[in-house]
Structure 1
C-alpha cells in the first residue's frame, strides 16, 4: 500500500467513525478508484468505521449502482481471512452490493465454520 493510501485510509476511517458517510460517498462518486480501499476499511478495528462502510455502500448502491462492483475484487480476499468478523463484514458489504457477481462469491460462506458468517451469507442469498 502506498504512503498516500495510508493517509487517505486514516482520513476516510476517521470521517466514517464520526458518522460522515455522506462526505465519503461524495469522495467515492468523485473518484471511483477509491473502491480499492474498501478491503482495508472493512478490516479496520473500529466498529464504527465498519458500520460507516455499510452506510457508505448503501448510499453508493443507490446513487452509483454501476460503480460499486469496483469494490468486489478488494472484498473477495477477505472471505478467506482467519478472523470471522472480517469475513462477516466482507460478506455484509458484498450483500449490500447485491449484484450477481457479488452474490456468487458469498455462496462459499454458506459452509463457513462461523455460524454468524453463515447467517449473514444466507440472509443475503435468500433475500428477494
Structure 2
C-alpha cells in the first residue's frame, strides 16, 4: 500500500484515500486556515473509528443494538519527546451488553490501529528529491 501526501501551501496537506481527499491543516491559532483536522486529531479519529468498526461487527454478529453507538476518545499530550501520552476510549452502546462486555473490550483492543500502536511498526524516513 502507498499514499502520497501533498503540500498545498500554508500548513495544509492533502492525503488521497481511494476516491477521497483528506485535508489536513492547522487551526487559526497555529498559523493554519483550519480547513481540516490536525495530524493528531486524524490519529485519534483513526483509532476511535477503527475500534468502532470492530465493535460494530461484533455487535451485528451477536445481535446487540448499535443505533446511537458512539466512541468517545480523550487524549492528553506529553513532552520529551512531544507525543500523545495518554488515550482513553469510551464505547457507548444503546443497551447493556451484560456478560459480553469482556469479549467486546477484547475485540476493541484488537483493531488494526490499536494493534499497530501496541506492536510498533518499523518506520523508515528518507529524504529524496
Question: Does the pair score TM above 0.5?
Answer: no
Give the strand-richer structure, 1 or 2: 2
What is the TM-score with the length of structure 1 in the denominator? 0.23
Q: Which one scores higher on RCO, CA 8 angstroms, separation ≥ 6?
A: 1
In terms of Rg, which structure is larger? 2
What is the TM-score with the length of structure 2 in the denominator? 0.23
Give the helix-richer structure, 1 or 2: 1
